[in-house]
Amino acid sequence: MFDFDLLQIVAGLPGLVIAMVVHEYAHALVAVKMGDPTPRFAGRLSLNPMNHIDPIGLLCMFLVHFGWAKPVSINPYNFRNPRMGDILVSLAGPFANFVTAFIAMAMLFALFAGTNGAMSSGAQQVFSLIILYNINFGIFNLIPVPPLDGSHVLKELLPGELAYKLAGLERYSFLILLVFLMTPLPFYILQPISRGIIGAMSAVLSFIF
């Protein structure tokens, strides 16, 4: 379960930090755009990693591949449309991760083409991990288990009683996610989705480079 590969940690650090920062910044930005100033007052409308990174969550990402950033606090009652605002803010984080992964892949393709395939293996690994971590971070946060983003979207789409029951799962969320990650389900469910997204992005970029 524990992975102390120093080279992997050094190469993966940019990807993990970028994935967490763009994810939380996107939540903050869309919340402010939707009419809630709470993230701005909390200093979260920033790309400064220190405003978003939870040191323990980052360390856990390296060691057990399960971690977290500081959640962005919002007040849905400030949204012009609370229901739609909550959905858009929730989707903004994963969407930002997927866009970041696509940009990183485009840069990797461009650098590889510009060097005629002579790009260093270290640089390739860094870019590859930026792509992988952003895609996986986006997919993971779409799981409909509180307090992940997917649960906020599902809660707004469910009728009142079911939404209330879903919210009640939050007290067990850490245990649910831990059990989920200890089973083969991530391999059989999340990994194929990740590979599919990477394949789709690569196919699009192959028409350009």
Structure tokens at 8: 């992997």
Strands (E), the chain: none
Judge contact between 45 and 56, C-beta under 8 A. no
If one counts every other C-beta atom within 10 angstroms of the C-beta of residue 163, the result is: 15
User: In terms of DSSP H, where are the helices of 115-172?
Assistant: 121-141, 149-157, 160-168
**Is 170 tagged catalytic?**
no
Q: Is 75 helix (H, G, I), strand (E, B) or coil?
A: coil
Active-site residue (options: 24, 156, 161, 170): 24
CA-nearest of 163, 153, 2 to 83 is 153
Sign of the C-alpha dihedral, residues 158, 164, 170, 172? Answer: negative
Judge contact between 79 and 36, C-beta under 8 A. yes
Q: Is 73 helix (H, G, I), strand (E, B) or coil?
A: coil
- Residues annotated as catalytic (active site), given as ranges: 24
